[in-house]
Amino acid sequence: MRIVVVSGIWPPDVGGPASHAPEVADFLHERGHAVEVVTTAWSPPEQRAYRVSAVPRSLPPGVRHARAAELVRERARRADAVYTTGMFGRSFAGATAARKPYVVKLTADPAFERARRRGVVDGDVDGFQDRGGVRIAALRLARDVELRCAAHVFCPSDYLRTLTVSWGVPAERVSVLPNPAPRVPELPAREELRRSFDMDGTTLAFAGRLGAQKALDVALDAVDAVDGVTLLIAGDGDERERLQERAGPRVRFLGPQPRERVLELFRAADASILSSSWENFPHTVVEALAVGTPVIATDVGGVAEVVRDGENGLLVPAGDAPAFAAAVRRYVTDEALAARLRAAAADSVRDLDRDAVFGRIERALADAVS
């Protein structure tokens, strides 16, 4: 097959789609398919074994969106199908104009994400579903058209699948596809990794985009409340400057890191944290567990489908900094609990095999073409 992979972000960008899209493109290429990528970037992206085309982010939004839709159309005309992990409106427009099927990988509610970017709403995904207003109705209509026209829609969690079906997407064309566990390379000894990050004492780790969704103020409050705990934050985003000004002396910002270095960070840390106010099925949770590190997280979206409270991590309510601090304190003071969670972490995601997960994407694309 000839496949166009579409993603709004691409390495060196930070975020789930910037990890997922290259992995899928690599997998499809390894399987003998002809792959091309369409993305956006500030500077020309590094080429791989396949072509990576980017629309400049320096263009004004309307021009950028039109250029991306046209690029998808141009590439899709010579392809059999489109696999899109972002830029859903542009993927819909380009694939439809080229008369080619497309398969969607959702990470969130696109209408909610667009509404937040435009400053139309705040709050979380669940609250958004009942919000009214003309602008919100228009965003929902665009989302529903884009998804209902897809050959198939993959959701990383049952939570998001249930939402997607509620938007009128036929249930038989929506399925749960968990994010795969990464192929963990042979890592240096944990003590060596701790030295490489200059870790001293109990250390928590976070990696991801530094945006409002991650609610890192909750994590910072928790670190402030628990003596002797340090937090290392890897990543970048529009909240970084504010968070750096807000953070206490036991918080260090590492900036964007390559994926292998993120795995090393998680392996070195005592626990990974996720304080998000809303989530789907975050890649970093699976990555931390895959290298044997328990996760302390908020119980939002599909997180509880991979982090099981008291088994491979601890779950707390969203937006509750005292509860998050209590979970951190419990973890770092109860050695037996920490050892039990760490022993169970890697095995808890062993079934999320990369080839099995991505093989389902390959079959969905083949079904769309046939």
Q: Mean pLDDT over all residues of the chain?
A: 94
| Token reading at 235 | 């990543």
Q: Are 35 and 29 in contact (CB under 8 A)?
A: yes
Report whether the peptide linkage leading into residue 317 is cis, meaning its omega lies within 30 degrees of zero: no
Q: Are 80 and 341 in contact (CB under 8 A)?
A: no
Q: Which of 164, 115, 163, 119 has the alpha carbon at shortest distance from 136?
A: 115
Residue 279 has what pLDDT?
83
Kindly report, residue by residue over 49-72, the tens digit of the pLDDT.
999 999 999 999 999 999 999 999
Instruction: Over range 169-194, report the average pLDDT.
Output: 92
- Structural domains for the chain: 2-180+353-369 (3.40.50.2000), 190-349 (3.40.50.2000)
pLDDT band at residue 321, thresholds of 50, 70 and 90?
Answer: very high
Kindly report, residue by residue over 339-352, the tens digit of the pLDDT.
999 999 999 998 88
Give CA separation, 17 vs 209, 227, 267, 346, 357, in Å.
11, 35, 22, 23, 15
Kindly report, residue by residue over 224-268, the tens digit of the pLDDT.
999 999 999 999 999 999 999 999 999 999 999 988 999 999 999
At position 40, the amino acid (one-letter code) is T
Q: Are 87 and 114 in contact (CB under 8 A)?
A: no
pLDDT band at residue 122, thresholds of 50, 70 and 90?
Answer: confident
Count of residues for the chain? 370
Q: Are 324 and 222 in contact (CB under 8 A)?
A: yes
Q: What is the 3-state secondary structure (H, E, C) of 233-276?
A: EECCCCCHHHHHHHCCCCEEEEECCCHHHHHHHHHHCCEEEECC
- The residues, ordered by sequence, that sit 6+ positions from 258 with a Cβ below 8 Å of its Cβ are none
pLDDT higher at 283 or 39: 39
Residue 17 has what pLDDT?
86
Dist CA 287 CA 212 (whole Å)? 22
pTM of the model: 0.77
Kindly tell me if the per-residue pLDDT of 117 is higher than 90. no
Percent of the chain residues past pLDDT 90, beyond the cut: 80
The secondary structure of the chain in percent helix, strand, coil, rounded to multiples of 5, reads 45, 15, 35
